[in-house]
Structures are given as C-alpha cells and as structure tokens.
Amino acid sequence: MLPNNRTTSTTTSSNKLDNLLNRLEKVKQIKPGKYKACCPAHQDRSPSLYVTYTDDGKILMKCFGGCDIESIVSSIGLKLCDLMPDNPLNPYEKRKRPPKFSKSEMFDRVVFEAVILSVAVRELLKGETLADDDMERILTAESTINEIAREVR
C-alpha cells in the first residue's frame, strides 16, 4: 500500500485557518481560500457563515444571519486576534537608519576626535601611561573616526 502523501502546504493553508475551520460545523470549501460553514453564533441549519482567507493571512468572516464577528469567534472559543496573521508588519519595528551627518558636522567631529587622539599619542610618546578612562576615550575616538570614514566612502 502506498503511503498517504498528504501535502500540507497549499497557498491558502494556515494553522489559524485550520484551527478555525476545525471548530465550525459543515465546513465546505467554495474555492481556494473561501469556505462556508454553519454559523456557531446562531441556530444555523444551512451554512450561512462565509469564511475568507485573504492573501495577507487575515481571516474574514461574514454571517448572513447577521451575527457580529465578536460573537462568532467567542462562541467557538477564539479571539479576534486568532483571525489575524501571526506576524503582522509592525511599522514601528522597521528600523530607521540613523540620520547621516552633514559634511561639516562630520568634519567637526573628526577634528574633535583627532585632537583627542593626538593628545593621547603625545602622552604615549612621552612614555606616560594612560588611565583606563583615557584609553576608553581613545577607542571611542577611533571607532567614531572609522564610522565617519565608512559614511564618506
């Protein structure tokens, strides 16, 4: 006997959709992504609930008996968020690039950091040991200059 090769990936498949359809009675697929079923929120003998699975992963439901969406989802133990895709694009999560420095700001910054470096180099050449704080400041100056160098490139 051949193994039952069930293909689970169709374009309209979604765990949330399956979860919803499993809770409905007399589910019938009308066409891909469109189903009808008995409405769980009212005494529905012939299916009057239409379920649409949209391209962007949302589940839309319309009961022609006039039930509102909240009572439909709550009567099958779901919430409205169960109709929404798992990863909606959150515009606030899109990271903006940090503002670029203008040329003159970059120049001022480079000069400032260069002065710090030159003071430190002078101290080192004199055989002075630098304090940890100063060493840290030199590293900051160096990375700032490198960053600016990358922007200008």
Residue with tokens 């359809």: 21
* Least separation in angstroms between CB 75 and Zn ion: 9
Q: Site map for Zn ion, 49-78, x if CB under 5 A?
A: --------------x-x-x-----------
Residue of 23, 123, 33, 139 lying closest to 78 (CA atoms)? 23
- Using the contact rule CB under 5 A, the part of the chain among 9-17, 36-44, 105-113, 142-150 near Zn ion is 36-44
Residue of 75, 87, 88, 83 lying closest to 20 (CA atoms)? 83
* Least separation in angstroms between CB 40 and Zn ion: 8
Question: Does 37 interact with Zn ion (rule: CB under 5 A)?
Answer: no
For Zn ion, give the closer residue by CB, 7 or 46.
Answer: 46
The DSSP symbol for 35 reads: E
Q: What is the 3-state secondary structure (H, E, C) of 38-71?
A: ECCCCCCCCCCEEEEECCCCCEEEEECCCCCHHH
Of 17, 20, 38, 41, the one binding Zn ion by CB under 5 A: 41
Binding residues (CB under 5 A) for Zn ion: these are: 39, 41-42, 63, 65, 67
